[in-house]
Chain A
Amino acid sequence: MMKYIKKLIFSALFALGITSFSVTANAACGKIVMADMNWASANLMANVDKVILEAGYGCEIELIAGATMPTFTSMNEKGAPDVAAEQWANAVANPLKKAVAEGRLHIANKAPIKGLGEGWWVTPGTLKRHPELKTALDILDHPELFPYAEDPSKGAFVGCPAGWGCQLANANLYRAFEMEKKGWVLVDPGSAAGLDGSIAKAAESDKNWFGYYWNPTSIIGKYNMQPIDFGVPFAGSENWDGCIVKPEQECADPKPSAWTHSEVNTVVTDNFKKTAGNEAMKYLEKRTYPGEVMNAMLVYMADNQADGADTAIEFLKTQESVWTKWVPSSVAKKVKAAL
């Protein structure tokens, strides 16, 4: 009997010890669920956040798989997961505004990655050979520099694969800039593989290439693709949302315009703000990846076929000057120790 009681007391003490220990460890933070989105840059960011928040702020992080729409819907309706590191906001603009106004969601960082967005790009060799090509308007005057394989008298502008939303936008901009009259053909690459392949082919053999792509991506980083200024300002959301992104028959008179700004935020729930505290919020506010660093990491990821967790470690090890600015030095020390 005595033995039994002793055992009970010991185990109770033991259990108490563990609980109190975990309480002290998590004093500043709590249990956080983060969305691990299904594309490379968001996947990397979630894993970097996990390491820094766990090692530096004592949070307990669980990553769950996510995608733009399902994750936002779940955060908006159920308040979980707590953090979406790279939430493309254009698709969810209105409900996000409403949720922020009601205080259910908070935008922790308005631009987690610099130089992000969609647009028109050329191979770096193109700019080296023809430094006079400053804007898209300059390029459009020189279709002969981008000969189309099937009709070399015309220039090839590589648009978006059939069926993607950006296909409509590119087709309408093609009309708005009067590219057909200027001697251009809008080439449909057919698929993501086709689009990537046409860039890879042109960049590997150092040929000129002009077309649509988006950032941050490993393709842009790997081949050092150069964004092209449109040479015209953004012609208003009425033109863009009411015409450019619509099918041709619903867009009678498209106006030349720069690509619409892609709103990308780090979105957190109210629960995160409360449990993780101000320190963690401050970290997310400061956490902005320079575009070229993000692209370099994506290239590392693609070249080594590494996953987000491996790449996060690589990032924390090699890019200290970037991430140590995001956190106080005491936190940086803890994170470094954990690596």
Chain B
Amino acid sequence: MIEHLRDIIESIWQYHPDEPLFYTGLAFWIAFTFVLGVYSLVYRKNSLRNGYLLLVSWFIYFQMSGAFLALLAFSCLANYGFGLLVHRRKFKKMWLAVAVALNLLILGYFKYTYFFVDTINQLFQTDYQVFNWIGWLLNQVARDVVDEHSIMLPIGISFYTFQAISYLVDVFRGDADVVKNPLDFSFYLSFFPQLVAGPIVRASSFIPQLYQKFSLKKKEFSHAIFLITKGLFKKMVIADFLALNFVDRVFEAPLAYSGLENLLSVYAYSIQIYCDFSGYTDIAIGLALILGFKIPVNFNAPYQASSLTDFWHRWHISLSLWLRDYLYIPLGGNRKGVVRMYVNLLVTMILGGLWHGANLRFLIWGAIHGLGLALEKLFRRAFLLGAKPTGWKKLLSVFVTFQVVSLAWIFFRARDYSTIQQLFYQIRYHFLPQNLMAGWESYQWVILVFLMGLLIIWVPNRYKEKLRGAFIALPAWMQIPAVLIVLMLIALVAQTGLQPFIYFRF
């Protein structure tokens, strides 16, 4: 045990690119407990607290992303400076344009270079190769620190870039105060719970918290523990299990599975991505809360949405709002006529799709949502439909919305176009439901977890609230055993071997 602990502690201090310090590992929680220990000494003085949490955030980011910490630090300093310039009276617009352009340029360089080069090569039959100019420049300073022939994507760059842009625009619009202390601004941009996968936190809601005293009620702490436990359960029991034992297998070889298995894997992926992403957000919100900071809710039962519009009010809410406030509305929103509104919707969703990844598949995913939203608005206008259906219409709407969202996820998840084609081929021609029934014994755990996933996405909020309320009401000595049971279950699932193939046959 001591040896195991020694390994864990070593992994906390040393950078391991293959094993980053992440919520899903015991090492992270040991490190976090240590962070809390020191935090209890510094939390009373705001500047000391913020400086300490900035250091911790940068350390954790370094453990995840290594040398890209320098890029994050650069982004913090540059955007802090741009914030001050945008806040000045002169050339505000110009500074804002320069700042946004620089942010997008950096994001584009690291995230979209391969996409652009590949697209150009395909369109013009050329053979351009990617060259890492920034890496080359760094190599002039320190020899051979970067591979000049490849560009790695820094973790969280999409999130902190969008967060920086929102800050600059808010300062420009007067919606947020400029941050005058560079350490405070760096802390806002680097706060570790939401740094690598959101939510995208607005300056106007976060910056004021930097100057408030630490305050946390017992109920809030219990809520945070509940969120963290729930997040770990969703991520490690539902999402990881479904991914490992079902979704990954089917998506990497659709032809090896029946159409029904392919279809179920699409639904399973819908559950997986929700449990993974919302699980992460739950943990992030819980961690921030424990440290005395409130960050916004990012998911609100998205698969209970009765339309795509409703879905985007519930799914990755911070991104939806960002796209609305900083892209859709500046494009003209619905103020410039109906046709323009549809075009704006489509453009916003396509760019939103590309934000998720540099690939044609993400563009298609965004376009499906954009077209869906446009069609939905069109039908609603044409047939004068109400915004919120009730009764059986609601059930039908939720069902149809889930189908459309799941269909779009195929483009999000599949490796390439061939996989998508094979998946649809199997669903159309080789549905073979009897295979699944015959393989019930070997599939029973997958089906059980799948059903648990369905329960999580569709159980009404009032029941979830009851569970949360019951947990919060427990005294600490009763909470700990409850959390331990869930943690042991997580450990059990994490240690479980692969579930067998259908019939246990290959």
Same assembly:
no
Residues of A within 8 A of B (CB): none
